[in-house]
Structure 1
């Protein structure tokens, strides 16, 4: 009986097309319906902060170099994930990510909680030549980041673009984006205090690549890596088995 129905369906172009539409509609509903309840599923936290201009630039470099293709930023609720990487990822932690980089591919380890785990010096050495710190690594080298100056002229436009999709950057943040990028990577400069005023006392100020005389793409990428998992401490709250959020580690 079922073979007969299947044969008739395949011989009817209209019927077969309607069957395809019906099947595709089910998949579409399953993916789209949850978006109507997104406000109920994303947590609300008071300590969530924005990416600084330098961190946002580093995120762009992270995407540009395809880092997301080998590293996920999504710790599952599975026990082995939590024991290896830390508290599982919350939706609110990607609240200001456009696009979000959760992913599922793990050629390398998950980076959702990598911020503060290693020093800036370790990350610079790792990016210059991964085998220097992880002998078995198959990750490519990114030596040119240390010698490529960061283009800060585009930072105000980057923040303005983020604001159009809902990230609450203020006019003051947009106007001072380039100055704040420099200030975050020059902790002893006059501009450094302005960064913490605009983005919070928890903002990490550091000579990320070890040099304060210029601002490089290495500064930006390390700044971004060091903030992963540290935009909010929500994942560490009310979790009996969780350790406190690690303090940032500098050179």
Structure 2
């Protein structure tokens, strides 16, 4: 009986098209319906800050070089992942990511909590020749980043584009994008103070590639890696709230 029905359906072009539309509609509803409750499912993070111009430039380099193809940025709630990488990822941590870089393939480790795990110089050494710090690594070398001057004249446009998509960059941030990119990688410069004023005291200001007299793509990528998982501490607060309280006798 089912075979007979299926045969009739295949012979009827209109019926077959309607069946395809119905099947596709089910999938569409499953994907679209949750968006109506998005405000209830995304956590609140009052301390969430936006990427600085230098970090955003580093993110663009990360995308350009295809790093997302081998590294995910989404720790699942599985016990082995949490024990290896840290607190599982929250939706709010990606609210300013355009596009998101959750990924699904892990040729290399997940990077959602890599910020602050290693020093700037470790990242520089790793990017120049991964085998120097991880002998079994099959990651390609990115030594050219340290020799490539970072383009800054269009950073304001990048921030403005993000602003148009809903990221809360101010007009002051957009206007000072190039200056702030230089200041974040030059701790002793006059421009450094403007970075913390606009993006908060927690913003890392450092000569990321070890050379404060020039701004390179290495500076940008390391700055981005060092902020992953550190734009908000919401995930750590959430983890603390779900941990059982210690016994009164302890």
Is the contact between residue 87 and residue 242 of structure 1 (CA under 8 Å) also seen in structure 2?
A: no
Could you list the runs of 4 or more consecutive aligned residues of structure 1 that deviate by over 3 angstroms after TM superposition? 240-243
- In the other structure, the counterpart of 2:228 is 228
TM-score for both structures, normalised by structure 2: 0.95
Matched residue SS, 1:25: helix
After TM superposition, give the deviation of residue 14 of structure 1 in Å. 1.1
1:124-160 per-residue CA deviation (whole Å, 9 max, x = no partner) reads 0111111111111010111110000000001000000
In structure 2, stretches of 5+ residues that fail to align are 244-250
- In the other structure, the counterpart of 1:122 is 122
- Matched ranges for 1:7-26 at <5 A: 7-26=7-26
1:154 aligns to 2:154 (yes or no): yes
1:27 aligns to 2:27 (yes or no): yes
After TM superposition, give the deviation of residue 55 of structure 1 in Å. 0.1
Matched residue SS, 1:190: coil
TM-score for both structures, normalised by structure 1: 0.95
Give distance in 2, aligned partners of 1:242 and 1:154: 44
- Matched ranges for 1:85-164 at <5 A: 85-164=85-164
1:165 aligns to 2:199 (yes or no): no
- Matched ranges for 1:60-75 at <5 A: 60-75=60-75
Matched residue SS, 2:214: coil
Give distance in 2, aligned partners of 1:177 and 1:239: 35
- In the other structure, the counterpart of 1:248 is none
Give distance in 2, aligned partners of 1:55 and 1:180: 10
**Structure 1 residues 28 and 67, CA, compared in 2 at 3 Å: closer, same or farther?**
same
- In the other structure, the counterpart of 1:183 is 183
After TM superposition, give the deviation of residue 238 of structure 1 in Å. 4.0
After TM superposition, give the deviation of residue 177 of structure 1 in Å. 0.5
- In the other structure, the counterpart of 1:57 is 57
- In the other structure, the counterpart of 2:174 is 174
* Larger mean Cα displacement after TM superposition, 234-243 or 216-225: 234-243
